[in-house]
């Protein structure tokens, strides 16, 4: 066969596998099986059947997953947005930082005391398994989104504890002893990484927002690519400055999320698609690097036994007790609190941190990597599959979000300062009022969308909670206009 034929055959296989991975996300509509679980199990099985697939270099895995995680964190930051983060900043920071530290410490203690692992590898293992990944939760929920404050906390916790866990592991790998002086050095370097990452992320996000608004490009497709390249540059520059590049891109995404910018909707969709692809790639690579059966399988070194033990302890003891204590002062209903504690699922970040441990060539690194595989597999398959039923049992509100593949766009050469979009909040002044009864002379209702359909606008048209309304109003009158449609916790959304 010619090189072209071989390449075309390989490309056909890869594209069909990728298409199957994309379609597998539909399973969440029918079965409580997270799509990442399929990627993980199928890739592990494939590497056992065709051992050549398991020859992926660890260096390549680390670099690919690093880029994927940068995109995932930036997209997560944009979904949170500055307004939602500001309202929950203290709770997110507390559970994200303190929750990560206590989880890492408790897992390390369990790995050492119960399973006899050396203190160094136990600390590295506990740190690698401390971050959470609600993307797994959202994949199994399909088109259902978590309502209330618990959804914001889950998303915010994952965004915060990913960079914290990564920074802590990087610092631990750089130290060779665990004495009192070493602990002080670890904490100091960890603090530097977090502070530098937060500061440069804020500066980078503000700079990128200015860049997006003020520097036009010749074609619309370049706007999303510009943001992607800028995000990668923020990560790289922060890492070179000895800060947490992952925290920097998360903060940059939060700063940009929900802000007005040219082609904002297209940019958000582009990065959301890349984040979904990154999640698929990360789980597939983890599966390919693990041998389940054979002379070097995970059962040989006791990885199954240790991994399952740590996974059960983490799900039923460590997170409910320790992280539960940290969330005690956070305003949540009992059902929401239990749901948040159960859904601290593991995902792409432990994969990346496992490759860090392998690359450092510390003693027992391969065994630790296999244990990470078992814990992540248990978390995704067992815990993830129980999420929808648990949400219903605990009374956590699940909102079905219908996709809207059709759009009605109007493009402007300049930013439309007077055009604003609101969602009518239940109990607001606009809820139940007609357009003519809105107590303001400073607005003009131009578009009403109800359950995905356009509504004819007239003076007698009644507004209902959940309606999306596009209005014309001068910026000076925006606070008064926003108060008509919004409750205290909602506000105007950018028109894109």
Instruction: Indicate which CATH number applies to the domain containing 44.
Output: 1.20.1530.20
Q: Which residue has the higher pLDDT, 460 or 135?
A: 460
Do residues 166 and 152 both lie within one domain?
yes
305 lies in a domain? yes
pLDDT at 409 over 80: no
pLDDT at 298 over 70: no
Do residues 87 and 147 both lie within one domain?
yes
pLDDT at 490 over 70: no
Do residues 76 and 9 both lie within one domain?
no
Do residues 332 and 445 both lie within one domain?
no
Q: What is the pLDDT confidence band of residue 317, given thresholds at 50, 70 and 90? A: very high
Q: Which tokens go with 294?
A: 């054979």
Q: CA-to-CA distance for 151 and 88, rounded, in angstroms? A: 11
102 lies in a domain? yes
Do residues 347 and 473 both lie within one domain?
no
Q: What's the pLDDT at 167? A: 87
Residue range of the domain that includes 483: 419-494
Do residues 423 and 392 both lie within one domain?
no
Do residues 225 and 330 both lie within one domain?
yes
Q: What is the pLDDT confidence band of residue 105, given thresholds at 50, 70 and 90? A: very high
Region 225-233 average pLDDT: 95
Model pTM above 0.85? no
Average the pLDDT over each of 123-137, 199-213, 479-493 and give the range with the smallest value: 479-493
194 lies in a domain? yes
End-to-end Cα spacing for the chain: 50
pLDDT at 182 over 70: no
Q: How many domains does the chain fold into?
A: 3
Q: What's the pLDDT at 295? A: 46
Percent of the chain whose predicted confidence (pLDDT) is above 90: 19
The phi and psi torsions of 443 (rounded to 5 degrees) equal: -140, 155
413 lies in a domain? no
Q: What's the pLDDT at 230? A: 96
Do residues 371 and 485 both lie within one domain?
no
**DSSP letter, residue 453:** E
List the CATH number of the domain containing 431: 3.30.70.1450
Cβ atoms 480, 440 nearer than 8 A:
yes
Q: What's the pLDDT at 489? A: 44
Mean pLDDT score across all residues of the chain: 82
163 lies in a domain? yes
Which residues lie below 8 Å from residue 311, measured CB to CB, with a gap of 6+? 374, 375, 378, 379, 382
Do residues 427 and 305 both lie within one domain?
no
């Amino acid at each position: 066969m010619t090189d072209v034929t071989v390449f075309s055959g390989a490309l056909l296989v890869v594209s069909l596998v990728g298409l199957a991975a994309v379609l597998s996300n539909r399973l969440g509509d029918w079965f409580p099986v997270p799509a990442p679980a399929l990627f993980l199990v199928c890739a592990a099985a494939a590497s056992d059947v065709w051992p050549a697939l398991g020859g992926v270099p660890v260096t390549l895995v680390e670099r690919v997953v690093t880029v994927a995680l940068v995109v995932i964190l930036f997209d997560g930051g944009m979904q949170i947005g500055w307004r939602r983060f500001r309202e929950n900043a203290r709770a997110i920071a507390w559970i994200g930082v303190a929750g990560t530290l206590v989880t890492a410490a408790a897992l390390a203690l369990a790995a050492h005391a119960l399973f006899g692992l050396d203190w160094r590898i136990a600390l590295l293992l506990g740190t690698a398994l401390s971050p959470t990944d609600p993307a797994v939760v959202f994949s199994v929920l399909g088109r259902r989104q978590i309502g209330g404050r618990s959804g914001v906390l889950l998303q915010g916790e994952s965004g915060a504890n990913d960079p914290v866990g990564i920074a802590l592991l990087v610092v631990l790998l750089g130290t060779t002893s665990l004495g009192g002086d070493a602990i002080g050095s670890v904490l100091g370097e960890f603090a530097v990484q977090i502070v530098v990452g937060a500061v440069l992320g804020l500066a980078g996000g503000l700079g990128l927002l200015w860049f997006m608004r003020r520097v036009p490009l010749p074609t619309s497709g370049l706007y999303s690519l510009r943001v992607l390249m800028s995000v990668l540059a923020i990560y790289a520059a922060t890492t070179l400055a000895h800060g947490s590049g992952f925290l920097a891109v998360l903060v940059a995404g939060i700063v940009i999320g929900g802000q007005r910018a040219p082609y904002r909707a297209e940019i958000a969709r582009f990065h959301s698609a890349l984040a979904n692809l990154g999640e698929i790639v990360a789980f597939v690579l983890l599966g390919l690097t693990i041998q389940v059966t054979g002379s070097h399988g995970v059962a040989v070194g006791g990885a199954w036994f240790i991994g399952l033990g740590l996974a059960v302890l983490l799900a039923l003891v460590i997170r409910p007790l320790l992280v539960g204590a940290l969330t005690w002062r956070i305003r949540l209903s009992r059902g929401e609190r239990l749901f948040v504690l159960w859904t601290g699922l593991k995902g792409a970040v432990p994969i990346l941190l496992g490759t860090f441990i392998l690359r450092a060539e510390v003693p027992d690194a391969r065994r630790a990597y296999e244990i990470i595989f078992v814990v992540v597999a248990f978390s995704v398959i067992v815990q993830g599959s129980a999420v929808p039923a648990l949400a219903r049992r605990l009374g956590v509100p699940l909102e079905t979000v219908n996709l809207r593949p059709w759009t009605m766009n109007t493009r402007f050469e300049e930013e439309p300062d007077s055009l604003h979009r609101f969602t009518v909040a239940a109990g607001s002044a606009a809820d139940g009022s007609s357009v003519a009864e809105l107590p303001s002379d400073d607005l003009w209702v131009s578009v009403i969308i109800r359950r995905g359909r356009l509504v004819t606008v007239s003076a007698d048209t009644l507004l209902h909670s959940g309606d999306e309304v596009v209005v014309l109003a001068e910026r000076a009158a925006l606070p008064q206009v926003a108060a008509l449609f919004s409750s205290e916790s909602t506000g105007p959304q950018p028109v894109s």
